[in-house]
Amino acid sequence: MQYTWHIKNYKELSLDLFHDMLLLRVAVFVVEQDCPYQEVDGNDKFADHIAATDEKGEVVACLRVLPAGITHQEISIGRVVVHEAHRSSGLGHELMDRAMHFVKKKYAETPVKISAQEHLRDFYEKHGFQQCSDGYLEDGIPHIPMICEV
């Protein structure tokens, strides 16, 4: 399947694209994972966003890249999400590849830190991330901190 890729900072996002990204994030992180939490946390305003839309123009994958000092001391990638119908297609790996390429281009040599759901450890390890300290519960879901030297 062909996807259209969007890489924009918050101020460049159209209202429709931002709305559809939030719609996907809430559908997966809040509804599918049955985890009521404050999805809209104010950090999107500081982020660069990467999203993939399908042939109908629907957002099927997205993430955000935050500069150092917002959620972690390091640059961070978060809110990584792929629509259920597009999982196991390689889209998540393409999304992370594009994110890491973007980070290298914008920030050059710097570490990237993520807060990964523990069951996705292998996925993130394929992109160069390694667990950097003990796991913890976040919103009732086991997470691990992971870091990648870009």
- The reported pLDDT for the residue numbered 130 is 97
Separation between Cα atoms, residue 129 and residue 35, nearest integer Å: 25
- The reported pLDDT for the residue numbered 110 is 83
Separation between Cα atoms, residue 56 and residue 86, nearest integer Å: 14
Tens of pLDDT, residue by residue, the chain (150 residues) = 899 999 999 999 999 999 999 999 999 999 999 988 889 999 999 999 999 999 999 999 999 999 999 999 999 999 999 999 999 999 999 999 999 999 999 998 789 999 999 999 999 999 999 999 999 998 889 999 999 987
- The reported pLDDT for the residue numbered 79 is 97
CATH class of this structure's domain 4-149: alpha beta
Separation between Cα atoms, residue 89 and residue 7, nearest integer Å: 21
Distances, alpha carbon 144 to alpha carbons 16, 90, 97, 126, 148, in Å: 32, 23, 20, 15, 13
* Element of type H or E holding 27: none
Ranges of each domain in the chain: 4-149
